[in-house]
Amino acid sequence: MTESNSAVAEPFRTGFVAIVGRPNVGKSTLLNRLIGQKISIVSRKAQTTRHRVTGVLTEGQAQYIFVDTPGFQTRHKNALNRAMNRTVTQVLADVDLVLFVIESGRFGPADEQVVKLLPEGAKVILVVNKWDGLDPYVRDQLKGDLEAKLKFLDFANFHYVSALKGQGLAHVFRSVDAAYKAATANLSTPQLTRALIDAVAKQSPARSGIFRPKLRYAHQGGRNPPVIVIHGNALDKVSDSYRRYLEHVFREVF
């Protein structure tokens, strides 16, 4: 009997990526740059993109379908605005990843409304556009301000780019690829259980009355988004804060 030296081929992956944000932050320019084609109209005039615009990028064993969406409107909600907002929410319900685009130095209530649309557990990559032309001091100030305001998105990669000039977009695509691989990965029970045991050893769950939850092992219950099922005793006594701690640990490890 002889052993084969041939490597197992990596499966072909197809992911859907939504590009969302308020009007005029550069979503259409970003789409055109990412796929290398001018398929989405770029204009300084608001509401140029009124429907979803789709572009496809194939790289190696991955195909990504990027969906440019209308700018989400928080004011002047006429019939057109409402229809455009529905398009955004419909796209978000069907995609694997979200590129949340904001304009450098202009994060505000309108952007916060877009954050509230993001589905629970959404895989988000933050793209801070129009970063070119800012001096280092201003950039440092803006980074600190954004990271403080968006602390709840600490699991997301932040990228500072110029879609117009194509600066920083290679890093964005690498993040898209890495996030999708992680979301669709097969996680073995021994790997998950080891991460769980290490997490409990570092910080055990708090006692609830006479009960202290016992977390024994974990296995994967689903992919994209990943679902991790934990087995043990008195698990109904696990606090929400400890659940968030475990989510953070699993994100870091995997």
Q: What is the pLDDT of residue 7?
A: 45
How many angstroms separate the CA atoms of 20 and 99, rounded?
Answer: 6
How many angstroms separate the CA atoms of 240 and 222, rounded?
Answer: 21
pLDDT tens digits along 69-111: 877 766 666 666 677 777 777 787 778 888 999 988 888 888 8
* Residues 162 and 129 sit within 8 Å (Cβ to Cβ): yes
Residue 63's identity, in one-letter code, is Q
Q: What is the pLDDT of residue 4?
A: 41
How many angstroms separate the CA atoms of 166 and 34, rounded?
Answer: 8
83: Cβ–Cβ under 8 A, 6 or more apart, which residues? 50
Per-residue buried b or exposed e for 23-47, using 16+ beta carbons within 10 Å of the residue's own CB: bbbbbbbbbbbbbeeeebebeeeee
How many angstroms separate the CA atoms of 185 and 16, rounded?
Answer: 16
Report which secondary-structure segment, H or E, holds 227.
strand 227-233
Q: What is the pLDDT of residue 144?
A: 85
DSSP per-residue letters across 78-141: -HHHHHHHHHHHHHHTT-SEEEEEEETT---HHHHHHHHHSPTT--EEEEEE--TT--HHHHHH
Give strand pairing partners of 101: 127
Q: Name residues of the chain where pLDDT drops below 70.
A: 1-12, 41-52, 73-81
**Helix pair angle (109-117, 79-92), 10° resolution:** 50
